[in-house]
Amino acid sequence: MNILVTGGAGYIGSHTCVELLLEGHQIVVIDNLSNSKETSLQRVQEITGKPLTFYKADLLNEPAIQAVFEREKIDAVIHFAGLKAVGESVDRPLSYYHNNVTGTLVLCDVMKRFGVRNLVFSSSATVYGAAEQMPIREDFPLSALNPYGRSKLMIEDILRDLHQAEPAWNIAILRYFNPVGAHISGRIGEDPNGIPNNLLPYVAQVAVGRQPFVRVWGNDYPTPDGTGIRDYIHVTDLAIGHLRALDKLSQNSGLVTYNLGTGQGTSVLEVIAAFSRACGRQLPFKIMQRRPGDAAVSYADPSKANRELNWFTSRGIDEMCADTWRWQSANPNGYD
């Protein structure tokens, strides 16, 4: 198939591009490079030995997006493009709503104009808000605690309404838990702007000397070691989930929703210990006050994706940390 990947130069997008090319798809990437580097796409082509087509464009620029559809034959779209920092979304809500929601509306308008109705959407476990039961299933109540999460939930609602009005659309909503790791080659990985918001890239920067110590936000949660527990999923396993979702859409599936996670929780201290093993030295950390809004435990029930997509994760926390360290140690300043 000819697949358009929005945000394809980003962390998850670039890893998905690798898997798409290796499976024999042709891909076209749109990215405005606001939180990514074109170098990642050059390395995707090095890893796979296969070419891709890249357009530097913003989804808010409808004429530019239409021009891509006019030039390229597109069979399906995987939609990653969006702002994604929770803390920043609290400070800049209008930017998040405008970029994420309006950008998706522009994309869907152009897709409709060109008769492209297969869409895989990059959502998030943040749409579950503060879930009261574990593991989290797709039929749990939906809510969001910040503008980033609300923008994802708004887009989900838009896509549900779109499919109800026009059943010819095939849409897969994929709710990610905590993507970590890097490609096994060490050539592509996570390269966040500024100080990382998420645990693994922060730990990696401590290991490489860019940060002095890991900040552990609270050690008095009702968990075995007192620190928060999350469902970490290797980015390559996550990328493969998108390919299986595309397979599902090719069967005229309608609208489907899946959790992509391992179904297992790992605590903050367990992550630090695993990364210490990966880099060969004990990493320093300091216990800080809890952050407001952080849940004690969050992990997925991925059984629906296991069953309906024949998709399973195969990489554990030690492999996630080893692959992250391989990437970070070879690229201490990211792609720069």
| 216 confidence band (pLDDT: 50, 70, 90) | very high
Please indicate, yes or no, if residue 282 is contained in any of the structural domains: no
Structure-token pair, residue 60:
């808010």
| 297-319 residue pLDDT tens | 999 999 999 999 999 999 999 99
| 88 confidence band (pLDDT: 50, 70, 90) | very high
Q: Are 24 and 246 in contact (CB under 8 A)?
A: no
Q: What pLDDT does residue 295 have?
A: 87
Which residue intervals of the chain are DSSP H helices? 11-22, 39-48, 62-71, 86-91, 93-96, 103-113, 147-165, 199-207, 235-249, 268-279, 303-309, 317-330
Please indicate, yes or no, if residue 112 is contained in any of the structural domains: yes
Catalytic residue among 11, 96, 128, 148: 148
Alpha-carbon dihedral of residues 69, 74, 78, 84, nearest 10 degrees? -10
Please indicate, yes or no, if residue 279 is contained in any of the structural domains: no
Structure-token pair, residue 15:
């890893």
More confident residue, 30 or 294: 30
| Spatial separation of the C-alpha atoms in residues 286 and 296, rounded to whole Å | 18
As a whole number, the mean pLDDT across the chain is 97
Please indicate, yes or no, if residue 319 is contained in any of the structural domains: no
Is the pLDDT at 272 greater than 90? The verdict is: yes
| Spatial separation of the C-alpha atoms in residues 153 and 79, rounded to whole Å | 15
Residue type, 131: A
Distances, alpha carbon 303 to alpha carbons 210, 220, 291, in Å: 38, 31, 31
C-alpha of 331 from chain center: 21
Please indicate, yes or no, if residue 293 is contained in any of the structural domains: no
Partner residues linked to 266 by β-bridges: 230
Whichever domain contains 22, its CATH number is 3.40.50.720
Q: What pLDDT does residue 293 have?
A: 78
Q: What pLDDT does residue 197 have?
A: 84
Is the pLDDT at 193 greater than 90? The verdict is: no
273 contact partners, CB below 8 Å, separation of at least 6:
none
| 244-262 residue pLDDT tens | 999 999 999 999 999 999 9
Q: Taking residues 85-101, report their average pLDDT.
A: 95
| 31-85 residue pLDDT tens | 999 999 999 999 999 999 999 999 999 999 999 999 999 999 999 999 999 999 8
With tokens 């390229």, the residue in question is 72
| 186 confidence band (pLDDT: 50, 70, 90) | very high
Percent of the chain predicted with pLDDT > 90: 95
Structure-token pair, residue 148:
């980033």
| 279 confidence band (pLDDT: 50, 70, 90) | very high
Q: What pLDDT does residue 270 have?
A: 98
Verify whether residue 148 is a known catalytic residue.
Answer: yes
Please indicate, yes or no, if residue 214 is contained in any of the structural domains: no
Q: What pLDDT does residue 325 have?
A: 98
Q: Are 241 and 311 in contact (CB under 8 A)?
A: yes
Q: What pLDDT does residue 291 have?
A: 86
- Which residues span the domain enclosing 97? 2-182+233-261
Please indicate, yes or no, if residue 298 is contained in any of the structural domains: no
Q: Are 301 and 259 in contact (CB under 8 A)?
A: yes
Q: Taking residues 188-214, report their average pLDDT.
A: 94
Q: What pLDDT does residue 311 have?
A: 98
Q: Would you call the peptide bond into 135 cis, given omega within 30 degrees of 0 as the criterion?
A: yes
Q: What pLDDT does residue 194 have?
A: 86
| 217-226 residue pLDDT tens | 999 999 999 9
Is the pLDDT at 87 greater than 90? The verdict is: no
Please indicate, yes or no, if residue 144 is contained in any of the structural domains: yes
Count: domains in the chain: 1
The DSSP annotation for 68-135 comes to HHHHS--SEEEE--S---HHHHHH-HHHHIIIIIIHHHHHHHHHHHTT--EEEEEEEGGGB-S-SSSS
| 137-180 residue pLDDT tens | 999 999 999 999 999 999 999 999 999 999 999 999 999 999 99
